[in-house]
Homo-oligomer: A and B are copies of this chain.
Amino acid sequence: MRDGEVTRRRFLQSVGVSGGAGALFATMGALGLAPARAATPAFRPPQPSDFHLTGRAARKVVVLGAGIAGLTCAYELGKAGYDCTVLEARDIAGGRNLTVRGGTALTDLGGRTQRAAYSPGTYFNAGPARVAQWMVTLDYCRELGVPVEPFVNANADTLIYNEAAGPPVRMRTAKADLYGYVSELLAKATDQGALDGRLTAEDRQRLLAFLEDFGDIGAAHEYTGSTRRGFSSYPGAGEDAGTPLPGPASLSDVLASEVGRYLSFEFGYDQAMMMFQPVGGMDRIATALAAAAGRHRIRLGARVLTVTGRDADVVVTYRQGGREHAITADFCVAALPPHLLAKIPHNFSAEVSAALAAFVPFAAGKIGLEYRSRWWETDLRIYGGPTFTDLDITQIWYPSSGFHDRRGLVVGYYNFGEVAEAYGALSPAARTARAIEQGVKIHGAKYRTELASAFSVAWERMPHLEGAWAYPWSSFRPLLEPAGRVYFAGDWLSQAVAWQHGAFLSARAAVTALHQRVLTT
């Protein structure tokens, strides 16, 4: 039996012992919640002892890009003693994990510089902002000691605003009306025997019991409103039973208002509550990860010029401080945006080059509006969450932290694709003006008069990123294998594009493959 096989067996046996997703779902399986099989084996971080039995030693690795994937590679490989160097073109680690605070300055590809004038304590998560509870991102928060708090991704009291439909309505009102009418229609169809071919007598009875409760339609099977819609004045002291909101509108009007199109957002497997955020800003993760990987290992302002794989090593040249440098390592993990990596001179195979070139970057923009008062809490009783609109701002997010503080930061738009590009093409001041103009339609004059300052990011215009995320237009399978001694990692090589979860998992996959190779060849 070769040493490599011993090591491999140990490696596989340790899966499920060290915790992580595999162990998690095995536990769930035992409870009947899930099958005991996980699609991806649980991640087992490399560790120094892995080398004891093999006579092998940790190697030198150059990591391209200090985004979440690159930092994770350096952090995880570093656990076993790999000598990692991370090259990062920007002057800050974290990639799109960017939190803007007072004083943050950014210059876009067009040379336009913004400097954030936010008050102390105010921050704006310009990139990723939320973490679902099943995501591995939370495991890294736990491991790195980054405290988390709820991120409000759904709230009954946020608004829906479709411009042609008139004044905004609360999410709870839209929900009550649609669920009420849907229940009424289905209950009546059931009553009339329209579903007799499909339902047994028992099914029918159970379905009707469900609908009466789900739609609050009563035994008459008629939706005539519900306390679930909310009140203009909530039930109070003595005999004050509250003032119900006017309505409901007719079924036709509710359908025509198109409020229903926003209701399924909160059902998404990646968007359903509960969701979380690091306390104090998303960059707490990047900062903790960079510190854990070792700050001295990260070369900032280091732009990669060439990547050349050779039989026994990889040579990467880069420009830093106005000078050209070269680094030679046993392995490389390329964790740059794929559309930028494709343009860097390299000696990858034609297949690998084509796979990289097939990624198409996507535009997205966000604006962080700091307000002098938290009028959304005091005037509208909205404590966090998204308001949905059919305006080009798409969404407005009220803050998930600092409740009852004096000031607060509202995300004035989070938009994608063409509308994001249109905003991105404007000057920062013009973006703010447009975002405010749109928000005033929903929130009235305070949306303008209470504004303290604004900062916007157009990700497709960010140097060294040039996109919010990137999708492959053909299979990325060639990139899941190393190109010689070069491995690839990033959310773009995962099924969770645009999520840090995808970056973490892709990095783990690259680390696992690289480490297994070192241990077994």
Contact = CB atoms under 8 A, between A and B. Distances in A.
A385 interface: yes
Interface stretch (A146-154, A286-294, A312-320, A408-416): A146-154
Interface string A319-357: 000000000000000000000000000000000000000
A509 B238 contact: yes
B269 A232 contact: no
A332 B27 CA distance: 59
A98 to B, nearest CB: 23
Contacts of A178: 210, 214
A231 interface: yes
Contact of A185 (B30, B156, B195): B195
Contacts of A269: 172, 227-231, 234
Contacts of A182: 182, 186, 210-211, 214
Contacts of A210: 178, 182, 255, 260-261
A510 to B, nearest CB: 8
Contacts of A209: 261
A220 interface: no
Contact of A38 (B228, B233, B400, B509): B233
Contacts of A149: 149-150, 403
Interface stretch (A60-68, A241-249, A303-311): A241-249
A170 B232 contact: no
A237 interface: yes
B216 A19 contact: no
Given A202-B256, A255-B206, A232 B32 contact: no
Interface stretch (A103-111, A423-431, A494-502): A494-502
Give the number of copies in the complex: 2
Nearest to A496: B235
B232 A38 contact: yes
A21 interface: yes
Contacts of A57: none
A404 B40 contact: no
Interface string A16-50: 00010101110111111111011110000000000
Interface stretch (A74-82, A122-130, A272-280, A463-471): A272-280
A444 interface: yes
A142 B255 CA distance: 39
A175 interface: yes
Contacts of A33: 159, 167-170, 232, 380
12 contacts: A25-B232, A27-B380, A31-B168, A35-B232, A35-B246, A39-B236, A172-B269, A182-B186, A192-B194, A206-B258, A241-B495, A273-B273
